[in-house]
Amino acid sequence: MSLVYKCVIAGLVRYWLIHIDYWQTIANRVEIATPLNSWKRLIEGVYLYDNNINPYEGDSFHESPLMLLFFHFVMKKTPYILPLLFTIFDLTTGLLLYKTSKSFAQMFKESQDKVKDDINADSKSMLLSNSKLNEAPEYVLSVYLFNPYSVLNCAGMTTTVIQNLLVAASLWGASSGYRILACAFIALATHQALYPVLLIVPIAILLADINKGCNKCSYIRTLLVFVLCWGFLIYFSAYIMDGSYKYVYNTYGFILAVPDLKPNIGLFWYFFTEMFEHFRLLFVCAFQINALVLYIVPLTLRFKKEPVLLATVLIALSAIFRSYPCVGDVGFYLSLLPMWKHLFTFMQQKFIVGCAFIITSALGPTVWHLWIYSGSANANFFFGVTLSFATAQIFLVTDLLFAYIKREFTLKNGSSRQIDGKPAKLVLR
């Protein structure tokens, strides 16, 4: 199927889902909409702003002022194009990921050629051919366009669609060597959802590798451009809100403090519902350190030569451990996995993870109905499903990392196993 046909079919499916009678049900599902990205809360914030009421005075609106201004303009001028706009945004995300993966495939080819002489003779057959490298971008595009998580995320008209677009644009800018573009888009994504700030590390490494300059100078320049862009966005947002920085508490503060405990597919809501209040600050800090700080240093030290893998893993971890996750975040990082198709043969948990994704995706809505509407289940049932879903994602990420390490070892040491010059044998006693 050609690129145009894929985009047309995916676009028609999204546009049709937005106009069906069940759209309201899709848009309000807890797996799709959260207090941060909900379309319902967005239009409420726009309504308050249109009536000269500060939407950040209450506890219903948590988007950035830039998003508020943008959607206020669109709803006032051309509200009828909103379904088409979300569809175009999502298709653009897929195309940017396609372009990005093509650049990454070229980088894989170049790095493979550099180390070709160091690869063991037994492992020469494992080298990636041009045909295999060219297949990856097609798979990336297909997975994003037809992944049910991504499709439902767009159909629910959540602002995660825009966040995914900004992250994809930043990855494309970094893979093309455009420092200002990459930093500007990742600053916009960070300004909206905070957690994309993690991606500045792989982006800085990627830009240093592509530009082939002084690494330290390149890192500093990238970080400086990012900080300036983010600082400008914070200042401009305050300017929109008549010079007030009160919006910071209802955006960044809301993400970090987790005051709204409406159930979602994440891990925060249940823990803080059951927790004694005097322990809350301790565990909020522990959970946010886990989501924002804990993995960045060890993963960077181990995979600094693979910034693409580092970016993929950091996006996945932030999707798992953020305070208000949704299926749109999951669908985005799943679409990046085909770039690592050559690692799938080294992965041992593929079947288990695949089954867990299917089962939990089916059980989630079922258990939610039993809990909320039938009254024959309780919060423990739904949290058990979300915990299993998060566990499956963790297995997926760790399996991917171990697969990379195993392939790296095999390329260097060969695929044959011998002990004292004789073939190795596994004996069960």
| Distance between CA atoms of residues 273 and 321, nearest Å | 17
How many other β-carbons are positioned within 10 Å of the β-carbon of residue 309?
21
| Distance between CA atoms of residues 349 and 344, nearest Å | 10
pLDDT attached to residue 276: 84
Residue 232: partners with Cβ closer than 8 Å, 6 or more residues away: none
Coil, strand or helix: which one is 228?
A: helix
pLDDT attached to residue 416: 63
The model's pTM: 0.93
**What are the boundaries of each domain within the chain?**
3-414
| Distance between CA atoms of residues 258 and 260, nearest Å | 6
| Distance between CA atoms of residues 242 and 254, nearest Å | 21
Tokens coding 324? 């208000």
pLDDT attached to residue 110: 78
Q: Which long-range contacts (CB under 8 A, 24 or more apart) does 349-352 make?
A: 349/395, 349/396, 349/399, 350/399, 352/392, 352/395
Pick out the chain residues at pLDDT < 70.
1, 117-118, 120-125, 213-214, 415-429
pLDDT attached to residue 428: 45
Tokens coding 253? 């503060």
C-alpha distances in Å from residue 94, one per residue of 19, 33, 91, 166, 329: 22, 21, 5, 12, 14
| Distance between CA atoms of residues 33 and 154, nearest Å | 11
Tokens coding 366? 């079922």
| Distance between CA atoms of residues 182 and 171, nearest Å | 7
Task: Note the Cα 48 to chain centre separation in Å.
Answer: 30
Tokens coding 289? 């350190």
Tokens coding 99? 């372009």
Residue carrying structure tokens 């494992």: 126
C-alpha distances in Å from residue 310, one per residue of 18, 181, 220, 307, 373: 35, 20, 19, 5, 42
> Which residue, 231, 258, 228, is CA-closest to 245?
231
